[in-house]
Amino acid sequence: MGLQSKMADLGRLHEIIRAFSVAGFGDIFKKMGLEAAAEQTGKIMGWQYAEDIAHLERPQRIRKLFEVLGPTFVKLGQILATRPDLFGPEWISEFEKLQSQAPQLDFEELRPQVEADLGAPLEDLFAEVDTKPLAAASMAQVHRATLKDGTKVVLKIQRPGIREKIEADMRLLTHVASLAENNVSELATYHPQKVVQQFVKSLQNELNFMTEGQNAEQVSANFEDNDQVVIPKIYWEWTKERISVQEFVEGIPGVNIQAIDQAGMDRKRLARTGANAVLKMIMVDGLFHADPHPGNFFILPGERIAFIDFGMIGRVSEIRRQQIMRLLQALLQNDAEALCSILLQWSEREGEDPGDLLVPVDEFLGKYSGKSMEHLDLSVMVGDLLALIRNNKLTMPPDQAMLLKVFVSLEGAFKKLDPGFDMMAAIQPTLQEAVLNQLSPKALGKRGLKVLIQYLELFADIPKEIRRGIYTVKTGNLKFGIELTQLDELKHVLIRAVSRLAVAAITSALVIGTSIVMALSKGPVIGGVNIYQIFGVGAIIGGAFILLAMMRDKTWKKNLKE
């Protein structure tokens, strides 16, 4: 980094400290070891926004500060809005108000950058470009245009110079997050370094419009057999890092309920279609729109839904999807120990004794036990779960926190279309599809191949270990030290462990069989019989007989008791 960049970063740091100090957060910077900078900025008087925020509550003040400090902090606030495991509802509500709106730029200020990126004058590439913007955000401006063949498109153009400003802010935030986590105990519980890492990764993706285009194209491929969901086409010939050219979607904005009614659309059906689409992205495809608010989808003729703006995307690994299904299973079965296990695993404390955590988890489950899924209010239940996590100083992986936030946002977005929309009822068909996918030959084969590779790697190491053993014997360094009493105790430990492992495996078969019977109401039917449910019942009966036989055996009973 050159001297000029360092000076610019220092000036920006002073600006940030001054803004937070005037807002009443100056002590935090002193605790970080930035006393000199805090004192220097404190001498600068007359911040123009001081009066605007003096009477506001803390969450409102932070939201206002983020708006004043520009696009980087607006985006940071939007990321923080996806972390309800760290912040209470009053904070999340303020962060959600942060919108990337910005003053419009004259198109002539954008033209030189666009023509440099495309390598030709705009008149040579487009039949027409509307110089009046459709939208102006903090990072980009959107304009309508027409290709030479008459195709209607939109140009998403990055604001000139914004990348350099954002990259400087990201450097500062990374440094400040490290200072905060190491020096300010009240901030350390929020894991600022992890939050900033998540933020930086997200923002780097948003700065590259080609990444956004790839995300949209992948989602589109996942819906190629669904004509009710539309993803705008990306025109790669003219899409670069700082400009995206995509199909123009002409429809009714999801926020315009009056226009939807005037068009005679079935809002219940639209809500169901939209929710099923996002749930499929999450539970089946593992790639989802992370900001599904009504401003990011349009209603098209034929009651179709078009999703736009794939800058903020979420990914769900197979492990995460399994955890979500385990979470739902723990809720349905009122299993406090299983829920504790999942929460500790999310907090990177896997294997710990749940201890006092069992009490609040029991209270949480008690509030919802006995209720069928269709009678549960998802947003309230998730809110209670997140309060449980915060109050017990637990955390969640950023992707899982974003996922829960999307579930709640999804329910809110589609309840605006249909006030009677039931999110829990909408989840069930997708959950069934996810379970079917987990049990499909392809998925089972994939998991089997993974295990096989692990064993092959293990066996591949055996010759090396044998050679090492032979070398040890040859050099006279091999030493034997065996105590028979310890060997005898080891034998008993192994026998007990194997006994319990066998019981656990058979019990798991019973649980899996029960889950299949409960979850799969749909599947291949032969002679009026659901084949998947027959497999489930078979697993239950077979496991029960084996378990009973084992428990009647005296040796097994003795080993289990020991």
3-state DSSP percent of the chain in helix, strand and coil, to 5: 65, 10, 25
Contact criterion met (CB below 8 Å) for 216 and 234: yes
b/e map 85-104, b = 16+ CB within 10 Å:
bbbeeebbebbbebebebee
- Residue 105 vs residues 119, 137, 380: alpha-carbon distances, Å: 22, 10, 42
Local confidence band at 406 (pLDDT 50, 70, 90 cut-offs): confident
404: number of Cβ within 10 Å:
22
Residue 4: the pLDDT is 46
Which residue has better confidence, 509 or 393? 393
| Distance from C-alpha of 405 to C-alpha of 383, rounded to nearest angstrom | 10
Each residue's pLDDT tens digit, 367-403: 877 665 556 677 788 888 888 988 888 888 877 777 7
Q: Which amino acid, residue 430? A: T
> Of the ranges 31-40, 168-177, 299-308, 386-395, which one carries the lowest mean pLDDT score?
31-40
Average pLDDT over residues 49-62: 71
Q: Does the pLDDT of residue 561 top 70, yes or no?
A: no
Average pLDDT over residues 547-559: 54
Average pLDDT over residues 302-330: 83
Q: Does the pLDDT of residue 218 top 50, yes or no?
A: yes
Mark residue 90 as left, alpha or beta (left: phi above 0; alpha: psi -120 to 50; beta: remaining): alpha
> Of the ranges 83-87, 142-146, 341-345, 557-561, which one carries the lowest mean pLDDT score?
557-561
Q: Does the pLDDT of residue 169 top 50, yes or no?
A: yes
| Residues facing 153 on adjacent strands | 145, 247
> Of the ranges 24-38, 277-291, 292-306, which one carries the lowest mean pLDDT score?
24-38
Average pLDDT over residues 518-542: 56
Rounded to 5°, the CA angle 97-139-119 comes to 160
| Distance from C-alpha of 44 to C-alpha of 458, rounded to nearest angstrom | 65
Each residue's pLDDT tens digit, 226-264: 999 999 999 999 999 999 999 999 899 988 999 999 999
H or E segment to which residue 396 belongs: none
Which residue has better confidence, 217 or 99? 217
**Percent above pLDDT 90 for the chain:** 23
Which residue has better confidence, 62 or 558? 62
> Of the ranges 3-17, 101-115, 168-182, 499-513, which one carries the lowest mean pLDDT score?
499-513
Contact criterion met (CB below 8 Å) for 251 and 299: yes
Contact criterion met (CB below 8 Å) for 122 and 157: no
Q: How many residues does the chain have?
A: 562
Q: Does the pLDDT of residue 196 top 90, yes or no?
A: no
Task: Convert 44-100 into a string of H (helix), E (strand) and C (coil).
Answer: CCCCCCHHHHCCCCHHHHHHHHHHHHCHHHHHHHHHHCCCCCCCCHHHHHHHCCCCC
> Of the ranges 277-291, 347-361, 526-540, which one carries the lowest mean pLDDT score?
526-540
Q: Which amino acid, residue 18? A: R
Each residue's pLDDT tens digit, 38-51: 444 444 434 455 55
Kindly report the pTM of this predicted structure. Answer: 0.65
Q: What are phi and psi of 48, to 5 degrees?
A: -70, -20
Rounded to 5°, the CA angle 103-127-229 comes to 70
Cβ contacts of 267 within 8 Å, gap of 6 or more: 257, 260, 261, 417, 418
Average pLDDT over residues 305-332: 82
Local confidence band at 467 (pLDDT 50, 70, 90 cut-offs): low
Q: Does the pLDDT of residue 407 top 80, yes or no?
A: no
Contact criterion met (CB below 8 Å) for 392 and 305: no
Which residue has better confidence, 4 or 437? 437
Average pLDDT over residues 405-419: 81
Residue 220: the pLDDT is 94
Residue 270: the pLDDT is 92
On average, the pLDDT of the chain sits at: 76
- For the ranges 107-116, 435-444, 452-461, the maximum mean pLDDT occurs at 107-116
**Percent above pLDDT 70 for the chain:** 64
Q: What tokens appear for 19 in the block? A: 């803004």
Which residue has better confidence, 142 or 296? 142
Q: Does the pLDDT of residue 155 top 80, yes or no?
A: yes
> Of the ranges 8-17, 25-34, 301-310, which one carries the lowest mean pLDDT score?
25-34
Give SS3 for 559. Answer: helix
Local confidence band at 266 (pLDDT 50, 70, 90 cut-offs): very high
| Distance from C-alpha of 337 to C-alpha of 330, rounded to nearest angstrom | 9
Each residue's pLDDT tens digit, 126-145: 999 999 999 888 889 999 99
Average pLDDT over residues 161-186: 83
Residue 483: the pLDDT is 47
Q: Does the pLDDT of residue 175 top 60, yes or no?
A: yes
Residue 292: the pLDDT is 75
